[in-house]
Amino acid sequence: MGDAPRTLLKVLVDQKQWRYTDFATRFRSTADRILTKGSARNPTISESQFRRWTAGKIAGLPGPDTCRVLEALFGVDASALFALPPSTEGLAPAFHLEDEIDMTARDVQNEAGAAAAASISDTTLDQLREDVAKLAGQYNSHSAFEVFRKARELREAAEYLRDRTQVPAQQQELLLVAGQACALLSAAAFDLGFLDGATRLARSAALYGETARFDPLRAFAGGALAYIAYFSGQPAQAARLARRAQSFHGLGAVAHRRLSAIEARAYGHLRDAAATQRALDASVEDGHGATDLLHDDIGGEFGFSLERLAMSNGSTCLLLGDGAQAETAAQRALELAASKPTRHRSAPIVGGASADLASARLLRGDLDGAAAALEAVWAVPRDQRVTGLLVRTARVRLGLTGDRFRTAPLAAELGERMEDFARQSTQLQLGVGALPIAALEG
């Protein structure tokens, strides 16, 4: 008999299996509901008070507000709560099922609201994801300055939202968005001629991919680092980076196409004809329909179109002095570009392939043919005269200084026009600096 509950309050608390913390939480939420919400004067219950109440060690009743809260919490008059419990048969009427369900519903609602406050809207996340994909798709129709500005805003937005959510799936998605934006920042920085900044941004993109456990982003960033390396006079390092990027898992055919083309260019700078040809062959292999979420599903700047592949491989052939193969590849790039609607054509790719076509024709002494090819180069807008294009036109300028064209008036005219073309580009107007010397070799 000594262990029998001394108050009805003790019986009800035991039936609910409440500890002190459970009781205190529900007491506070009930007080906020029926009294002034969040008031500093609302009653609170210490653990020692709770122990005295349930043990029946209280003289009289608590204050009026406390009694109101207890009555709302249990649906029983306060005087009955602190009295000896009735018989078991008499307990049932003391419960009010509707109040119990109502209280449970409110508790669940409050807890769900707290969880929701630690997440972000899926609609917001979808929009940010779509914005990055749209920027990647429209990369070649925007100036590099505009891409850089928009990509920076998107990365900052992703990081801001990542601080606001505790949902693991949303955190990973935002890491991917931030990493993709960072990769676009690197591409824009390279196109503007800032190779050091482009390198740091590409490494950051790779780190985002590693943190998010998303190998396609790591592979894309690895390819960017390889590309920057041979433009910086480190072709051996470029080849290593391109090979390492191809070892990542889950890459589609487009990713391997891009990385093989970059590897081929690196070997071209090394004058390793055999390794260059192996990589060139690998870049045009059938990938058997393999895809990944970055290079294929998003694509755009993350992809590697067939005309871009042809242009890149044409540049590689020029490094080896193979004018015939370079001319074929450049013409193929231009044909593929021309087959697309005007709004989907990339001015830098058309200009780059045309410049390579001019260089290839100069190798076989066709100055008039080179001049015809350059007509498409002059049409490239100033703000889209990116680093890759300027390097290609500089190679043409170098070709025009050869002995066979030294006394040709057309060669002199084209050379002067080529210098004006580069000087009037946005990046050189802003004083970015000289073009990478390594890219001019050959």
Block means of pLDDT (10 residues each) for the chain, length 442 residues?
Answer: 73 86 87 74 83 84 88 86 70 49 62 64 93 95 92 96 91 96 97 93 97 97 96 95 96 96 96 96 86 96 96 96 96 96 91 97 96 97 92 94 92 94 80 50 40
Structure tokens at 36: 């002034």
Q: Give the per-residue pLDDT at 115.
A: 58
Give the span between the Cα atoms of 391 and 398, in whole angstroms: 10
Give the span between the Cα atoms of 366 and 360, in whole angstroms: 9
Instruction: Report CA torsion sign: 246, 252, 256, 262.
Output: negative
Of the candidates 329, 296, 297, the residue with the CA atom closest to the CA atom of residue 311: 329
Structure tokens at 344: 């989907």
The backbone torsions φ and ψ at residue 408, rounded to the nearest 5 degrees and listed phi first, read -85, 120
SS3 string, 283-332, reads HCCCCCCCCCHHHHHHCHHHCCCHHHHHHHHHHHHHHCCCHHHHHHHHHH
* Angle made by CA atoms 406, 407, 408, in degrees to the nearest 5: 100
Domain ranges of the chain: 8-117, 321-442
Max CA distance (Å), the chain: 121
Give the span between the Cα atoms of 30 and 52, in whole angstroms: 21
Cβ-based neighbour number of residue 384 at 10 Å: 19
pTM for this prediction: 0.73
Rg (CA), the chain: 35
Give the span between the Cα atoms of 290 and 324, in whole angstroms: 32
Structure tokens at 296: 């294929």
Q: Give the per-residue pLDDT at 436.
A: 54
Length of the chain: 442
